[in-house]
Structure 1
C-alpha cells in the first residue's frame, strides 16, 4: 500500500473514533477523593534524582491521605514504551504517550507524578497543553551535569562516554532545561528528603494539598 493509501486508511479509522463520555465526571471523582488532581512533571538529567525525589514526594502524599500514582521512565519502558529507542524521534513519542496516560490518570482524580528526562522543551509544552492550566506543574530537578555524571548510579554516563550508549542526554543528545518551571529544585547541596519537603511545601502554598 502506498503512503497516501495508508494515510487515507488512518484518516478513515480515526474519523469513526469518538470520545466516550463516562457518566462519572472528573468533578465527581474530585469530590470522592477530596483533592485537586494535578500532574507533577519531574524533568532533569539522568542521575539528577528525579525518580528518588518523586518517590519521596509520593510517600509524603500517601501519608497525608492523598490518592496518587508515580509514572517512572524506566518502568514505562519495560512495558508501554518498550518498542521505543532513545533517538530523538522516539523520545518525542515516549513523552507523547506518557502525556496521554497522565491525562487519563488526572481525569480519574489522581495526583500523578511523572519522572522522565523529557529533554525537549517543545514536547513538554505539548504535554502541558493537554491539561487545564491548574492541572500541570513542571518540576525542574536542577542538578549540574558534573554532579549527575559523578553519581552515575547505573554507569550510563560511563557507557555514553565510551560510545557504548548512543543518543544519551547531556552527552550526545541535548537537554533543554525549563525556563519557567512552577517548581525549581536545585539539588546539588540538598538531600532527597530536603528536596521532597521543599516540593511538598510549595504544593501546600499553591493550594494543592487542601481538600475541595
Structure 2
C-alpha cells in the first residue's frame, strides 16, 4: 500500500520550530520494569523542564494504551507494535520542536533500537530505571505483580515475559539509592551537556 506514497517535504522543519521555542527538540526515553519509577521520574522531569520554560510532552505507557494503542495486547508482537507507534508519534513531536519524555517498559532491546532509529540518534536519550525486580514487586503500585504471580495476568514483564536491560544507556538510575530530585538534576545536566555538544 505504501508504494504509491511519497513523503511530502515541508517548508518549516524541526530546527526552525525548535528555534521558535528557544530549545533543541529531544526524546528522553525511560525504560524499566513496571513499578520501577518511570512515571514518577518522567513527571518530575517534565515539571522541572516546564519550570525552566521548555516546551514538553509526556507520553506515558498506560495513557497511550487507553487511546492510541487500545487495540493492542501484551504479546511480543503487540509490544513491538506499541513501541513502533510510540516511536512514530515521538518523531512527529520532535518535528514540532518539542522535548518529548516517554515512559514505557519497552522490554526488548530490538524495539528500543527501532525507536532510536526512527527518532534519530541525535535526538534520542535512553534512561534506564534500574530498579530490581524484588523492589518493583515490593512496591507493586497497581497490584499487577500479585495478579501475575497468581496467573491472572499473562505475559507480564519480569514474571513470564523477559525484560532485556539496556547494555549502554545514556543514563542509568537506581531509585533505591538516589533521591528523585537528584535523579532529575542528573538528567537535566545530561540534556544540557548533550545540547551543547550537538550545537558546538
TM-score w.r.t. the length of structure 2 is 0.95
Runs of 4+ in 1 over 4 A off after TM superposition: none
Q: Verify the 8 A CA contact 1:42 1:140 in the aligned structure 2.
A: yes
Larger radius of gyration: 1
Structure 1 position 126 matched with structure 2 position 114: yes
Q: Give the whole-Å Cα distance in 1 for the aligned partners of 2:179 and 2:78.
A: 33
8 Å CA contact 1:37, 1:111 repeated in 2:
yes
Q: Is the 8 A contact 2:73 2:79 kept in 1?
A: yes
Deviation of the 1:191 alpha carbon: 2.9
Are 2:139 and 1:159 equivalent residues in the alignment?
no
Deviations 1:108-150 (A, max 9, x none): 1110000000000001001101133220010001100000000
Q: Deviations over 1:72-94 (max 9, x none)?
A: 00000001000000111100100
Tell me which residue corresponds to 2:171. 183
RMSD after superposition: 1.8
Which digits, 9 at most, give the CA deviation of each residue in 1:136-182, with x for residues without a partner? 01000110000000000000000000000000000000000000011
Query: In the alignment, is residue 71 of structure 1 matched against residue 68 of structure 2?
Result: no
Is 184-193 or 150-159 further displaced after alignment?
184-193
- Select the residue among 171, 194, 197 that pairs with 1:206: 194
Query: Distance between the aligned counterparts of 1:25 and 1:201, measured in 2?
Result: 26
Name 1:5's counterpart in structure 2.
none
8 Å CA contact 1:36–1:211 kept in 2: the answer is no
Give aligned pairs, total.
200
Match of 1:112 in 2: 100
Give the gaps of 5 or more residues in structure 2: none
**Of residues 69, 73, 82 in structure 2, which corresponds to 1:85?**
73
CA offset at residue 204 of structure 1?
2.4
Aligned counterpart, 2:12: 24
- What is the alpha-carbon distance in structure 2 between the residues aligned to residue 16 and residue 207 of structure 1? 38
1:3 maps to: none
Task: Say if 2:14 and 2:25, in contact at 8 Å, map to a contact too.
Answer: no
- Of 143, 156, 160, the residue aligned with 1:168 is 156
| The one of 144, 148, 153 aligned to 2:136 | 148
Q: Distance in 2 between matches of 1:211 and 1:55?
A: 27
Q: Which runs of 5+ in 1 are unaligned?
A: 1-12
1:30-69 aligned within 5 A: 30-69=18-57
